[in-house]
Amino acid sequence: MGAYADLHRRSITDRESFWAEEAQRIHWHRPFDQVLDYSRPPFAKWFVGGQTNLCYNAVDRHLATRGDQPALVYISTETDTEKSYTYNELHDAVNVMASVIAAQGVGRGDRVLLYMPMIPEAVFAMLACARLGAVHSVVFGGFAAASCAARIDDAKPKLMITADAGLRGGKAIHYKPLVDEAVRLAKHPPRHVLVVNRGIDKEWQPVPGRDLLYTALAGNHAGAQVPVTWLESSEPSYILYTSGTTGKPKGVQRDTGGYAVALAGSMQHIYDGRPGETMFTTSDVGWVVGHSYIVYGPLIHGMTTILYEGLPIRPDAGIWWKIVADHKVNVMFSSPTAARVLKKQDPAYLKKYDLSSLRHLFLAGEPLDEPTHRWLHDAVGKPVIDHYWQTETGWPILSLAPGIEPAQVKYGSPGFPVYGYDLKLLREADATEAGPNEKGVLTIAPPLPPGCMTTVWGDDARFVETYFRTFPDQLLYATFDWGVRDADGYTFILGRTDDVINVAGHRIGTREIEEAVQAHANIAEVAVVGVADAVKGQMPLAFAVVRDAAKVATEAGRVAQEQEILATVDRQLGGIARPKRVLFVTLLPKTRSGKLLRRSLQALAEGRDPGDLTTIEDPAALEQIRNALLT
């Protein structure tokens, strides 16, 4: 048996001793009494009784040995700035931020909502919350005010932190007015909003009594030292909202000790990074990849992490490779969409820079098509490792583990089950295990390993109902992905089993988009499906039935309505959810019992056969869809 297969087997058959060993990778203020408490399935508590702190492990623990090593390198091609913070400097900055946050009455268990661009203060704020035992909830800066308000009402934060503006491709994105609007819409607004003033938006106005200016307060708190708040391992570290089948996003709750242990191990076994080396993850702090592998993972492992604010093709398509060469990046983590964007650029950019420091390039977040995988592999000349995971798990589910065994890449596959995950591919019909090359639903036999979500924030019942009820007779965590395993044990992901779509690596529920479209006054009914897109993987496409048909009777009318509806989605959800097109019909294809024939709709939109239509209520609906697609 290979070294990796052996490790995986041990992680399942000898679960507690395996994780007890892994737990030695982090600092425990008080040792744990019990590795795992699984007395209340499917709720798992890891490292019971142990006390630790994410900020301590990410920052303080390294001061004695690597205080002068860069911890965070901020590179912005938007503002042409580059600034490096050593571990000592990061420690100072985090303490100042923690002191400012604590002065607002924020402490253990209190929520802090961050709506921030990719600036160092976002990292300081996350770490500062962790230091204080406060629970951060980072909301991606692309979400609209209404989405942000829904998250405020769910998390009920004491404090929000934002900036005047972000920048994208040289264009200012005004964060502060959006936060003002979100706070106005929220039923449980925070008492204060802390604003990091970057000086990009010269017009923003503080709300008296509510808004606090970070730059001014940081001066008052200069030199502050804030003691670490030790948390019991299972106490929450953060909430991160993600989409599912319903319109209401779920707050994925993460623990403290299990997460730190899982990340620490993954940095070595999977990412094959070494303390003192440099990691460059091209995601955003608003996503799970940013939480785990821009902020916590590399820092817990004593690496230098790169925080990049900018586009992959500006000033030119060589910028990422320039960063790799300039900073001798050893581990890089990006997304298939980014790879497809780069593939369309001049290949000379990839040859221009010395990439010899790079050991592996990891991609995740959406299916990686084989041509792109091959292209990138050849272009970079280093193993390109596709790996698969979810916001819920916080770290990889399927991957190769080059830290343990050299990577044998099979194009199109994210590899093998990661240690700690007892994966089962089950036949949908009868929940029996699928054989080699047979499609099944990818599930995880609980207990979920350390680092995975512990519950849905504020809603234990929803956690169980959502994730553990796919098969009535077996308690199994559903990933909501289809998979297939080949004879060599490589797993391939075949797409979602639910109505979640993946747009440029961003996970969006079609129900959420439908609700956003429905906010437009002239919409009677709408169906949103994901259609294949050569660069973004998928794009939403909306089929709408309007109340007042006269408004879409002419071409000019249709264009105007479409624009209005797209603007409504922008306002409700944000530009990342904007449909590619809105097509107008008077009838949607439904079964006789009124269920939308979503898969048929999607098949038609992708030019495929619509499948079994024996249950359709009115076949005329299909003709309408076909005609609309021709327009």
Q: Interface residues with ligand PRX (CB under 6 A)?
A: 242, 288-289, 364-368, 386-391, 414, 479, 481, 493, 496, 502, 507
Determine the Cα angle at 253 with ends 248 and 257, to 5°.
170
Smallest distance from ligand PRX to CB 552, Å: 34
Q: With helix as H, strand as E and coil as C, how does 233-279 read?
A: CCCCCEEEEECCCCCCCEEEEECCHHHHHHHHHHHHHCCCCCCCCEE
Q: Which is nearer to ligand PRX, 310 or 365 (CB)?
A: 365
Distances (CA, A) of 169 to 166, 228, 359: 10, 38, 30
Identify whether the C-beta of residue 20 lies closer than 8 Å to the C-beta of residue 10.
Answer: no
Task: Give Cβ neighbours of residue 603 (< 8 Å, ≥ 6 apart).
Answer: 609, 610, 611
Taking the CB of residue 108, how many other CB atoms lie within 10 A of it? 12
- Residue pointed to by tokens 């009402």: 153
Q: Which is nearer to ligand PRX, 190 or 509 (CB)?
A: 509
Helix/strand/coil percentages in the chain, nearest 5? 35, 25, 40
Identify whether the C-beta of residue 427 lies closer than 8 Å to the C-beta of residue 433.
Answer: yes
Smallest distance from ligand PRX to CB 505, Å: 7
Could you tell me the sign of the dihedral formed by the alpha carbons of 433, 437, 441, 447, in that order? positive
End-to-end distance of the chain based on CA atoms, in angstroms? 58
For residues 393 and 254, give the distance between their C-alpha atoms in angstroms, rounded to a whole number: 9
For residues 209 and 192, give the distance between their C-alpha atoms in angstroms, rounded to a whole number: 8
Smallest distance from ligand PRX to CB 579, Å: 19
Residues in the chain: 631
Smallest distance from ligand PRX to CB 566, Å: 23
For residues 315 and 252, give the distance between their C-alpha atoms in angstroms, rounded to a whole number: 36
Instruction: Return the C-alpha torsion angle 575, 577, 582, 585, nearest 10.
Output: -150
Q: Which is nearer to ligand PRX, 323 or 453 (CB)?
A: 453
Smallest distance from ligand PRX to CB 367, Å: 4
Identify whether the C-beta of residue 193 lies closer than 8 Å to the C-beta of residue 204.
Answer: no
Q: Which is nearer to ligand PRX, 471 or 482 (CB)?
A: 482
Give the residue closest to ligand PRX by C-beta: 391
- SS3 assignment, position 10: helix
Give me 224's structure tokens: 């502050």
Give me 472's structure tokens: 């009535």
Determine the Cα angle at 119 with ends 118 and 123, to 5°.
95
Smallest distance from ligand PRX to CB 478, Å: 10
β-partners of residue 456 are: 252
Task: Say which DSSP state 492 is in.
Answer: E
Q: Which is nearer to ligand PRX, 226 or 288 (CB)?
A: 288
Q: Which is nearer to ligand PRX, 48 or 576 (CB)?
A: 576
Question: Which H or E element spans position 461?
Answer: helix 460-467
